[in-house]
Amino acid sequence: MELTLVVLIIIVGLTFDFTNGFHDAANAIATSISTRALTPRVALAMAAVMNFCGAFLGTGVAQTVGSGIIGAPEATSGLLLVLCALLGAIGWNVFTWWRGLPTSSSHALIGGLVGAALAASATVHWSGILDKVILPMLLSPLVGMALGYLLHTGILWVFRRSTPRRVVRRFRLAQTVSAAAMALGHGLQDAQKTMGVIVLALVTAGWQDDFSVPVWVIAAVAAAMAAGTYTGGRRIITTLGRRIVHLDPPRGFAAETAAAAVLYTTAFLVKAPISTTQTITAAILGAGATRRFSDVRWQVARSIGTAWILTFPGAGIPAAALYLLLHAATGL
């Protein structure tokens, strides 16, 4: 039974990573597609490759997710908890993708872990959640919005005497670099969260003693995310790229560069599992507000904000219910 559960968790974990890829593909490429800096096919292929490469850049976030969120019970009950957490997160990902809402796969996973842990009466590291999840969740969008606004304001000032057509052409080329940097940052951040959950399962089963990430886990997660990214996620691409604010190449470059800077800083320095979705959305809002705040479709932004708030319970409640149901049915 233990072997079966571990194998099932690995399969479901990679499935979650695949849904993360197609759900969050828009994070890296929506702005580049909407400004026509890249074609959808080229953008998706580039994002898939950079997501794959980003997964190999670090494991600090994975260790935070594996050891800093919950303390799973040993053996089969702990494995059942992890499995239900993944299923709850997958369900929320699929639902919000269907609705075209760019919510956070990362927070869905953490919400699933906490919900299943509470149902199992397991340990929840609330101080770790506050320091590594809640505070970064609140600060990263604010920083992303401010950076997006300031960076585009700087671009407007530097190129204020340049020919608009020439500036647009140059920034279409520059967006190739900024989109690649954003996709690399997404792989760096989001792939590690699935790695952390798989390692949590391995530690819970007693198959390894610490939360270091084996190379085969990194490779499997990277491949699953890259495959999911290449399949796209056009509903969310439309929301991020066109429905929030009209983007031109300079604004797109500013938003992607600002978001990528936040992703790298939090992954390497803070080792916090922040939301790439929240960060790029906030950066788009900041870059889009440099002309007039009325240019931003704040009603769409409010809908996205509501979905963000609902992400933790949206994944956590189904995960808890599923754990209680399976625990009662199987006795694990």
Name the token pair of 222. Answer: 């990277």
Among 111-115, 219-223, 291-295, name the one with the lowest average pLDDT.
Answer: 291-295
At 9, list the tokens: 């968790």
Supply the pLDDT for residue 297: 65
Residue 123's φ and ψ, nearest 5 degrees, are -75, 130
Residue 291 has pLDDT above 80, yes or no: no
Please tell me which residue, 52 or 300, carries the higher pLDDT value. Answer: 52
What letter does residue 120 receive in the DSSP assignment?
Answer: T
From 141-150, 185-194, 236-245, the region with the lowest mean pLDDT? 236-245
* pLDDT at residue 234, as a whole number: 63
The first and second tokens of residue 110, run together, are 């953490």
What whole-number distance in Å separates Cα of residue 111 and Cα of residue 316? 5
Where helices occur in 159-275 by DSSP H, the ranges are 164-204, 215-231, 234-238, 249-265
DSSP 110: H
> Comparing C-alpha atoms, which of 329, 332, 321, 331 is closest to residue 115?
321
Instruction: Calculate the alpha carbon distances from 193 to 15, 267, 282 in Å.
Output: 13, 11, 21
pLDDT of 29-77, one tens digit each?
Answer: 777 877 778 887 888 888 889 999 999 998 999 988 988 889 877 778 8
DSSP helix/strand/coil, 38: coil
Report residue 277's pLDDT band, with 50, 70 and 90 as the boundaries: confident
Sign of CA dihedral 322, 328, 329, 332: positive
Evaluate whether 14 touches 216 at the Cβ level (below 8 Å). Answer: no
Task: Look up the domain containing 230 and give its range.
Answer: 1-330
Q: Nearest 5°: phi and psi at 244?
A: -80, -50
Task: Give the pLDDT confidence of 163-214 residue by residue, as tens digits.
Answer: 888 888 889 889 889 989 988 998 999 899 899 999 999 999 889 888 899 9
Q: How confident is the model at residue 217 (pLDDT cuts 50, 70, 90)?
A: very high
Average pLDDT value for residue range 116-138: 89
Mean pLDDT score across all residues of the chain: 86
What is the C-alpha separation between 332 and 328, in angstroms, rounded? Answer: 8
Task: Count structural domains, the chain.
Answer: 1
pLDDT digits (tens, 9 = 90+) for 224-238: 999 988 886 666 666
Quick one: which of 332, 252, 269 has its CA closest to 36? 252
- Lowest mean pLDDT across 129-143, 157-171, 244-258, 311-325: 244-258
| Residue 96 pLDDT | 83
The pLDDT score that the predictor gives to residue 243 is 55
